[in-house]
Structure 1
Amino acid sequence: MVAPSPTTARAAVLEHLVRAVEEFPDLSIGDVPGDGLSAADQSLAHAINQAVRRRWLTLEAVVQQRLTRPFAELEPPLRAALLAGAAQLLLMDRLPAHAVVDETVRWTRSRLRPGAGGFANAVLRRVADAVGSAVRVPASGGPSLDAGEMPLDDGTAWRFPESPFGLEGPSRLAEQTSHAVHLVERWIAARGDRVARDLLLHDLVLPPVVFAGLPDTLEDPALRRHDRPGFHILAGGVGVRAKLRDLLSAHPLARVQDSTAASAVEATRELQVRTAVDLCAGRGTKTRQLATVHPNARIVATDADPGRLHDLRTALRRFPAVEVVEFTRIRKAAIDADLVLADVPCSNTGVLARRLEARYRFGSMGLAELVSLQRRILRGAADLVRPGGWLVHSTCSLEPEENEEQARWAARALGMAVVFERSMLPTGLPGDPPTAYADGGYHALLERRR
């Protein structure tokens, strides 16, 4: 059946989620198209989409308990309807349950057939009944979660009389926190139950907007000082996007940048740099930071992706000291650089609270392939560094294969020496103030010896 043209927030997000269901677990990045929607409906559609993506496996487990056949066997529009409906009932409790169920059922009938609407109605009413029988409690503080506990981003949890989650161990924890089970197993094996639990719970937190480079003397009721000096938090709520634009317009040297992400370039502040290269510049946040930290240096930036390179040129128009070049021209433009930053593609396991899609596709590409790609980039980066110059290897990963082991490989294979390295676990748990939030990541400073 041809999809009806979305006219409401729920219809728009449901159509968007049909495509996501077909892709899962390899979800693409993207928000709900807002064409034809009011600002309020765009906001609601965005919130529903984010709730589903953040808690996909949790929602699927709760829905599955109300089914007599596997969730994966249902038609994609029906799966989308049940996920979105369950997300609103479980995670957006200010929305009236009857409105959630009724509109979802109407869409399902129109999108599929009347019988499918009846099926969605029955399942979602069972989910609503489960929410009605659950108790909202403070989340348990032990190294594991209680069997029937569904932790929430505010530090509380739904406790169900009958657990919808899997058996003991990683499979249950994966459903409770909505992570790929092999990632949960990996973290438990490498870091122990308590640290793994905290990492998984951190990823349930709604990340704040973090500013770097705002004046320390700035007084603004919408801003709060971050726990780490030099950073501010923008309070959420109505008008946050407009406030974000206003702040960036008034303070053109400010950046939206997490404190952990900023630490890689900050580690180079005391170096004597005449030419610096940002080899994987993306949209230019670290490039702008390089220009700020090394104001007298020539900064050359590039990216292998044409779309990101276009965005990079646009983002850096206000920085005349930065030269953006095609990736294929980088050797000619910046040979014998004093400093090369390689912020390499990675598994994103330090930023899963922001990169919701990565928590499900961990392992799809395979760490071995990522490690191989990173080594190719690092080899090319090392070729640009003059003898005695420096290479920064940076990731937003927590995995040693992408971090410490890569630095050791570079030292052996590329004639480098590890001068300094730092691995940072993410901070901030559900219920903590947003000023405590920080992503996880890693960086190493290497010196070229030959």
Structure 2
Amino acid sequence: MSEHNENLEEKEEMTQSTTENGEMTMDDMLDAYPPLEVGDTVQAEILAIEDNQAIVGIKDRGVEGVIPYKELAAKPFDEVTEIVNVGDVVDVVVIKQIKDKENGSYLLSKRRVDAKAVWEEIQEKYDNEEYIEAPVKDVVKGGLVVDVGVRGFVPASMVEAFFVEDFSEYKGKTMKFKIIELEPSENRLILSHKAIALAEKAAKSVELMAEISEGDIIEGTVARLTNFGAFIDLGGVDGLVHISQIAHEHIKSPGDVLTIGEKVKVKVLSVDVEKGRVSLSIKDTLPGPWESIEEKAPIGSVHTGTVKRLTSFGAFVEIFPGVEGLVHISQISHQHIATPHEVLEEGQEIEVKVLDVKPEENRLSLSIKALQEKTNDTPVKEKTIEKYEASEDDDSKFTLGDLLGDQLKELQDQDEE
């Protein structure tokens, strides 16, 4: 390139000298300039702006050219004067020679020269693994169009580290991008913001995990719900709250009590820095179901509960979330029953009366029959007495107390209650 310039200078000096002596023709002068070829990059001075295009004089070539509107710049503009003005000297590339020389001998492009410089800069950043920052020009089907001096494209899957349903809010937004792929000859530039978001999250995760420890109570945001628990965003780290640690009471699905985006307090159960795992609990930050149970369920109070379990010796009834009390088989009915299954079923709602409270043992004694009127007592007594009066000569000699047995005891218990 330097030899070419030296030869050009020599030709110019020779031309000037010969002209002064009157020995060189106009054709000779034109022959002194090196020919212009398609693809040559030259300097041009803006001579005039007409019909939204620039008329230029190609320096050191003695010819004129024209830069069409679409070849002035890669970025959008309304007026030519936003890009060039009369007197400006710009670099242009020769696109082709114009046969009709009314507006200049050559068709030129400033945009392509600028784009070449941009591609070189992008290539350098790519080689150095640097990020680029640019505005989102448009939202199209499949992703985002970015203006970095040349057209860049961000596929939808590379916009964020999370699912985005509507990309309209990204238009006009300036963002950082990692260069994924570039091919200047095909005008192909693929970018990713997701790669940056993931890298930043990973760095923040390491930093945050070094700060939190077992037993800490912190605030987080419900990020995701699964059938086995909820992932809580702690500000760069996602911790898992297992379904058994969401509430004191049994729940079928995390979605029954939590919603995505909800702010929650959690207790750190464990931190595994090597695996990047944090185990959390929500229920450990909540008041226990048995807390102040003597105030919520004092002796003699009546509650509506749900039969949770049936056993051979009674029924467990839940009167508050996470609080179950036992209705002993003797407290289910005034009538004699062999098993609780005869009169109760799981899931049934019933009213119960509190007989005893032992908060230190998390135990409640409940009764169903205490809220029911006793029926058919008199006929039972009469039949029993009549039967054994008719057998007065029986050697067994049963007393009235022997005959009535548990019935008298049951009446006595009822009076005590």
Task: Answer with 1 or 2: which has the greater Rg.
Answer: 2
**Shared fold by TM > 0.5?**
no
For normalisation by structure 1, the TM-score amounts to 0.17
Q: More strand by proportion, 1 or 2? A: 2
Q: More helix by proportion, 1 or 2? A: 1
Greater relative CO (CA pairs within 8 A, separation 6+): 1
